[in-house]
Every structure is written in structure tokens, then in C-alpha cells.
């Protein structure tokens, strides 16, 4: 009996060695479809063996996908999905339960502070902005829903790493080490992430972008690990110590309230922490 995998491989190979008119597109999509939460990384050899496509074909397709941002290759030669995939998935993500649940909290946070409120999750090269509520103030954040904020220095990135399982810290630093400011090491970042965990909040004092400050807090799942971050993004002229402390309290309260609502909803539906809810 022919399995679906065997059928897919035969389809990719084409009939009598001839590719269908859309063969290149179909084969590229097939390779992208191999990436999953259970198998987020593949080497070129593994992709070739799984697809049974010629080595030259797999190499050419992966080079094209990498050039266009659909996949990325690390220094060890492992491929993973790239930022273009995250951005394309925004339309799906924006309709998710978490985004719907978070929207009222973002709106209330923006209204009470008169600053822009942002919801983010961890992406492959930094944070992925899921939703943004702005105010009538002149200042607008240098981000938008669906945008990947690269690096580890933003308030959201600090929170999303700090409250992820500690076993992931070194890997997340390594994946973005080339973009780190001079003098910032993995040890100094690990110390910073521990400070963020202890404080329950992270600050960005123009570290991501000059003229922009931010404060972020984690939205946690029932397992205690991070699902997302809520932040306020503000201009540096309103980012004094007293203002940031006031904003921190508001952000922390909003994130904690959203965490409770999300956990209670999942419990009511019979979901557990093992259902893959957290960003860890």
C-alpha cells in the first residue's frame, strides 16, 4: 500500500523524470512543509534524504528560499524558517485567541498611560509584533503589527528570553550575537535576564533605537513560561526614571491580568501546559 509520504515523494520526482510546469514551486513548498515544531531544523543532507530529490535541486531551492528570507541557515549548517515566514503568518497569528484576548488590555493600557501599547512574541531573529494600539500623541513607535524587531536589546526581547526556559538562553544569544553591541557578552546577558526575571519587567533605554524607550512585562502560561510580552513604547523625553517606574507598574498589572485570563480559559477548555502554549 502506498503511503502519503511515498506518494508525495513520487509526485515531487515527477513522471518519467519530467517536472510539471509548477514543479519548482511545488518542490520548494514541500521542503518548507517539512519544518515543524517537532522538527524545526534540517540539514541539507537530511532534506535531500527526506525528499529524495537530487542534491543539486535541494541546494538550489534552499539557496533561493534563503535569499528570499523564507529560511535561514546557521553557522552549523542547519536550516530553520526565516523572518519572511513569520511575517506571512501574521495574518493567521493576528486572529489567534491570545491576540483577541490581549486587545482590550492593550487598549486600556494605552488609554490609561496615553502611550502606545504593543503585544509581541519571540520570532527567529528577535520579536514579532502581533498587535499595536497607538494614541493621539504625536509620537508613534518605529514598529507595526507583523514586523520583526531584530536583536536582543529591546524590552520585549529581554522579557521573552528571560522568561523562556533557561536552557534556551545561550542558543538565543548565539543566534543573534553578531548584532550585539560591543562589550555585551553571553554572561552579561544572562545576568541581565536573571535581573529581568527577578523584577518581572524589562526596560529599554534607547538600546534598540535612539530616541525610543520601552518597558515590557511577560504574559505567562500555566507552566510559568512566557507566552508573549506586553510593552509600552515611549519617546526618550518621557522616559525618565519616575515615568518608567509608573509605566512599569501599569504594564506589569496588564500582563498579569492577561496571563490569568488566558490560563483560566485554557483550563476551562481542558488544555494543559504540555499543549504547546508557551514560547519556550
How many Cα neighbours within 13 Å face the side chain of 234? Answer: 26
Domain ranges of the chain: 4-81, 88-275
pLDDT value at residue 17 = 43
- Compute the distance between CA of residue 126 and CA of residue 175 in angstroms, rounded to an integer: 10
Close Cβ partners of 65 (under 8 Å, ≥ 6 residues apart):
28, 31, 32, 71, 82
Which class in CATH covers the domain with range 4-81? mainly alpha
Give the containing element (helix H, strand E) for 47. Answer: helix 44-51
Reported as a single tens digit per residue, the pLDDT across 17-66 is 444 434 788 899 999 989 987 789 999 999 999 999 999 999 999 999 99
pLDDT value at residue 272 = 56
Reported as a single tens digit per residue, the pLDDT across 247-268 is 999 999 999 999 999 888 878 8
In Å, what is the CA distance from 130 to each residue of 37, 94, 95, 205? 20, 6, 10, 22
Cell triple for 138? 504625536
Beta bridge partners of 72: 80
Given a cut of 50, the residues of the chain with pLDDT beneath it are: 1-7, 10-11, 13-22, 91, 94-95, 274-276
- Compute the distance between CA of residue 18 and CA of residue 270 in angstroms, rounded to an integer: 50
Grid-cell match 509526485, residue found: 11
- Are 252 and 211 in contact by the 8 Å Cβ rule? The answer is no
How many Cα neighbours within 13 Å face the side chain of 105? Answer: 27
pLDDT value at residue 197 = 96
The string of DSSP codes covering 51-90 is HT--HHHHHHHHHHHHHTTSEEE-TTS-EEE-HHHHHHTH
- Of 3.30.450.40, 3.40.50.10470, 3.40.50.2300, 2.60.40.790, the CATH number of 88-275 is 3.30.450.40
φ/ψ of residue 150, rounded to 5: -75, 150
pLDDT value at residue 271 = 62
pLDDT value at residue 69 = 87
Cell triple for 145? 503589527
Amino acid at each position: 500500500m502506498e503511503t502519503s509520504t511515498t506518494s508525495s515523494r513520487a509526485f515531487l520526482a515527477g513522471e518519467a523524470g519530467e517536472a510539471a510546469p509548477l514543479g519548482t514551486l511545488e518542490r520548494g513548498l514541500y521542503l518548507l512543509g517539512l519544518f515543524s515544531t517537532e522538527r524545526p531544523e534540517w540539514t541539507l543532507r537530511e532534506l535531500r534524504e527526506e525528499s529524495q530529490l537530487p542534491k543539486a535541486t535541494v541546494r538550489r531551492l534552499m539557496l533561493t528560499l534563503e535569499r528570499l528570507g523564507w529560511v535561514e541557515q546557521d553557522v552549523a549548517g542547519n536550516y530553520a524558517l526565516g523572518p519572511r515566514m513569520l511575517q506571512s503568518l501574521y495574518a493567521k497569528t493576528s486572529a489567534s485567541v491570545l491576540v483577541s484576548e490581549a486587545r482590550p488590555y492593550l487598549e486600556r493600557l494605552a488609554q490609561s498611560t496615553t502611550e502606545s501599547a504593543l503585544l509581541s512574541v519571540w520570532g527567529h531573529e528577535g520579536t514579532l509584533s502581533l498587535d499595536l494600539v497607538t494614541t493621539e500623541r504625536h509620537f508613534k513607535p518605529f514598529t507595526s503589527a507583523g514586523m520583526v524587531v531584530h536583536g536582543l536589546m529591546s524590552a520585549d526581547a529581554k522579557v521573552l528570553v528571560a522568561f523562556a526556559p533557561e536552557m534556551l538562553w545561550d542558543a538565543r544569544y548565539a543566534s543573534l550575537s553578531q548584532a550585539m553591541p560591543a562589550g555585551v557578552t553571553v554572561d552579561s546577558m544572562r545576568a541581565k535576564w536573571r535581573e529581568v526575571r527577578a523584577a518581572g519587567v524589562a526596560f529599554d533605554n534607547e538600546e534598540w533605537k535612539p530616541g525610543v524607550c520601552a518597558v515590557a512585562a511577560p504574559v505567562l502560561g500555566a507552566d510559568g513560561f512566557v507566552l508573549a510580552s506586553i510593552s509600552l513604547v515611549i519617546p526618550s523625553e518621557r522616559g525618565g526614571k519616575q515615568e518608567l517606574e509608573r509605566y512599569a507598574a501599569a504594564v506589569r498589572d496588564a500582563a498579569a491580568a492577561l496571563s490569568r485570563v488566558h490560563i483560566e480559559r485554557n483550563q476551562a477548555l481542558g488544555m494543559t501546559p504540555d499543549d504547546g502554549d508557551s514560547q519556550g
